[in-house]
Chain A
Amino acid sequence: MTPNLSKLLNALGLVAIDTVLVVAFADQLWFRDLPCPVCILQRAGFIAAAFGLALNLIYGPRPSHYGIAILGAVAGGIISAWQILVYIVPDSGSYGNAIFGLHLYTWALLMFALIVVGSAFMLLFDRQFAPTEPLVARPTLLPVTAIALLLLLAVGNVVSTLAICGLGVACPEKPSGYLIFNDNLSVTLLGKPS
């Protein structure tokens, strides 16, 4: 596998993760399905894993970058698995809307597993790590767009999470609205909803 093919596959992987985060945002904004605290953390797990792929696009493929992607996906996957276990007993409830029969946290665990397997698969091809590329390569449209979208989604999640949880450590387990839009703005921002 050449470094260029590796970069293309990393860019496509990053686009896939961007798409997951866009779908999560669409579900939140369009269907008013507000994310719970651990759901928010799973989004952060996707960004943590995507950072490894972004490093591959910026600096070229390196084993350590795939390691970052795997560690981020494992961290996010632990949270998804925990949430699945909370609701795994029949009639113990669920959280949020189901998409194609599975809840978002179940889809998330599948995606995290896919990132781990995909990164491990990419690590099998040593030729991509050979320093054959010129030091300053002209960035192409797909990687730049994928990284820019990831950055935008990370910043968007900062704003969204601030609106849902405020500045406090504790966030409502089942948020019913945006704390930031409550009347007592100064109190809710400090994490003490009235």
Chain B
Amino acid sequence: MMSLPFLLFACALGAAWTSRREAAMGFWVAGIVVFLVLFRIHATEVLNIGL
């Protein structure tokens, strides 16, 4: 699962290189969404700071 953003970004690059711009954008957006979800899952430590 953690490798999914890399896979989606690799697909985005491959699609862009083969002139499939719309597909490339779709893969990139999907990669960003998965990336943010994974960050939400792994950002478990409480920040010991005062803001």
Contact B28 A79 (CB under 8 A): no
The DSSP consensus for interface residues of chain A is helix
A118 within 8 A of B: no
User: What is the bound-complex CA distance between A169 and B40, given in angstroms?
Assistant: 11
Binds B, one of A23-31, A98-106, A119-127, A157-165: A157-165
- How many B residues face the partner with a CB closer than 8 A? 30
The DSSP consensus for interface residues of chain B is helix
Shortest CB distance A88–B (Å)? 7
Asked if A55 meets B3 with Cβ closer than 8 Å, knowing A158-B10, A171-B42, the reply is no
User: What is the bound-complex CA distance between A72 and B35, given in angstroms?
Assistant: 10
Query: Which residues does B use to contact A, with CB under 8 Å?
Result: 1-3, 5-7, 9-10, 12-14, 16-17, 21, 24, 28, 31-32, 35-36, 38-39, 41-45, 47-49
